[in-house]
Amino acid sequence: MNLPDSLWAASAAPAADTPPLAGKQGADVAIVGGGFTGLSAALHLAEAGKSAIVMEAGEPGWGASGRNGGQVNPGWRIAPSEIAAKYGGNRAPAVLDMLDRAPDLVFDLIGRHGIACDHERPGFVHAGFGRFGKAYLEAWVKEWGELGVTVERYDRAGLEALIGTGFYHLGMRDPRGGHLQPLSYARGLARAAIAKGAAIHGKTRVRGVHREGRGWRLATDGGEVEAEHVLLCTNGYTDKVWPGLGKAVAPLTSFIAATEPLDAERLRQVLPGRHAVAETRRALHYFRLDRDNRFVIGGRGNFTNLNEPGSVEHLKRVATRIYPALEGVGWRYKWGGRAALTPDHTPRLFKLADRVHAGLGFNGRGVAMGSMFGVQLTRAVLGEETDMPIEPIDVIPNHAFRQFGLTWFLVTGRLLDRGDARETPPAFG
């Protein structure tokens, strides 16, 4: 379970010592999974005076948390009105407020715990095509605007001045977003949690979770943990440790490619404002620069083959279409990782049994939301009210056929995306 040969593994801050679990241990809370969600939960639990033990099959950040695009995205893919409709009048304001605060939480944690992770907050840019992109962006600007967020809209020329490409028809900049080095952030969360008293064990796969008296016993190859509470924080890497949990999400492998550092001439043309950019397309791409001015682009990879790394040739082609100045640049890194999708694009906070909770289904937006779910899971343990509703587990219908469904979504999505890109560029009304 080594880290992939990624840009993040090559440029991360050093990892804290997280030896495998040995022998019998006890804690208030046992946490399965050492990504942003599990690590944030451990940190917040430790700050609340609870003893927490994290068990991670690889090392902290080994999963998606150490492999992602590092974009601190505001919001979910669906607009506030859809969120309000889903959660209803009583719950929606708390959910929307939580969503609004999630990017701040990331930058606050970085500041409060002195996490060195090359973070920048130039804003998050959404760029799109055609009537679909326009409707999406208009809803975002209007609805988040009504909630007090000042989102700037850009037509094609304005967007070109902002991000250096006239490839898109229109876009917007949401000031809440930014980017960071994700593996360094995960390692920083681990260090902060350990400093507050949490125990973190790498190379420790949990093999089973069983009731033990009033609490739970978690068995690993080298030891076991007895705990009053259990948190499952395994997202796209959910295995069979809790029967049925894997059926609540559809794992999706996403790929990323990164160039050599760009020279000064290219840098004048590519992302001059150093924004984090994501497309509104259904089969979307996202891109940014890293600390050393490498261009980093990711996109939906393969629904049918969850192995990594896959081909990233399509990402290189797309990158050069977006920024012709990237023609001839050297591409140094390619890697992949698993995200977890849900049918309605929203994450889940489950109560699986007495004092057993899970937080997962971040739909490719887990930098801010995984960190925030650590807070939500902490509140669930403390018996405090959560912003996110706690639900019984709900599994995806016909989960066994999910790959066909996802492939269908990707294929039809790409066709619709192509149609949007060919439309006459619309202007904001």
Ligand X SMILES: Cc1cc2nc3c(=O)[nH]c(=O)nc-3n(C[C@H](O)[C@H](O)[C@H](O)COP(=O)(O)OP(=O)(O)OC[C@H]3O[C@@H](n4cnc5c(N)ncnc54)[C@H](O)[C@@H]3O)c2cc1C
CA dist 207 to 39, 217, 378, Å? 20, 11, 23
Q: Find the residue with minimal CB distance to ligand X.
A: 366
| Pairwise CA distance, residues 145 & 274, whole Å | 24
Residue among 40 and 51 whose Cβ is closer to ligand X: 40
| Pairwise CA distance, residues 323 & 270, whole Å | 7
Smallest distance from the beta carbon of 230 to ligand X, in angstroms? 12
Pairing assessment for the beta strands 52-55 and 23-32 based on DSSP bridges: parallel
Contact 236, 251 (CB under 8 A): yes
Residue among 77 and 86 whose Cβ is closer to ligand X: 77
- My answer on whether omega of the bond before 261 falls inside 30° of 0, hence cis, is no
Residue listed under structure tokens 């020329």: 157
DSSP reduced 3-state for 400: helix
Residue among 73 and 426 whose Cβ is closer to ligand X: 73
Contact 185, 107 (CB under 8 A): no
Q: Contact residues for ligand X (CB under 6 A)?
A: 32-38, 55-58, 62-65, 67-71, 73, 205-206, 233-237, 239, 241, 254, 256, 286, 298, 337-339, 360, 362, 364-368, 370
How many CB atoms are located within 10 Å of the residue 14 CB? 9
Smallest distance from the beta carbon of 287 to ligand X, in angstroms? 10
Contact 396, 343 (CB under 8 A): yes
Residue among 41 and 79 whose Cβ is closer to ligand X: 41
| Pairwise CA distance, residues 185 & 193, whole Å | 12
Smallest distance from the beta carbon of 286 to ligand X, in angstroms? 6
Smallest distance from the beta carbon of 307 to ligand X, in angstroms? 13
Residue among 153 and 288 whose Cβ is closer to ligand X: 288
Smallest distance from the beta carbon of 151 to ligand X, in angstroms? 18
Residue among 165 and 302 whose Cβ is closer to ligand X: 302
Smallest distance from the beta carbon of 301 to ligand X, in angstroms? 8
